[in-house]
Copies of this chain bind each other. A is one copy, B any other.
Amino acid sequence: MIKVSVMFPNTPGARFNHEYYRDRHMPLLKSRMGDRCKYYTVDKGLACGAPGTPAPYAAMCHIFCDSVDAFQAGFGPHAQEIEADIPKYSDLAPVIQISEVVVEKS
């Protein structure tokens, strides 16, 4: 299994609507990807490891799929629609990482 992590750098002054992201954007992505998205998780950045320092990322989501091919098959045909929804909740450009899920849940 793989996960696609979409991470929004926590840039001072940037905009991120966590409610829209949770209630509208991620359900849109899931509805378009269908079963090719097994499930997803959403995080809201609170802090860095050191006290009083900001979180590196304002928000992250992790999209779990059987394979990179499954992700591309599910996301690709809807990429334009899903990406066009980003300005509705943020002006940040995300960092994207594809990972192998080594331990799904200990």
Q: Is A49 an interface residue (CB 8 A)?
A: yes
Q: Does A96 contact B (CB under 8 A)?
A: yes
Cα distance, A100 to B33, chains bound together (Å) = 25
Q: Which of B18, B48, B104 contacts A41 (CB 8 A)?
A: B104
CB distance from A6 to the nearest CB of B (A): 8
Q: Is A22's beta carbon under 8 Å from chain B?
A: yes
Instruction: Give the residues from 63 to 106 in chain A that come closer than 8 angstroms, CB to CB, to chain B.
Output: 68, 95-106
Is residue A34 within 8 Å, beta carbon to beta carbon, of the partner chain? no
Q: How far is the CB of A59 from chain B (nearest CB, A)?
A: 8
Nearest 9 A/B pairs, CB to CB: A49-B96, A43-B99, A42-B103, A42-B102, A44-B100, A47-B98, A40-B106, A46-B98, A39-B106
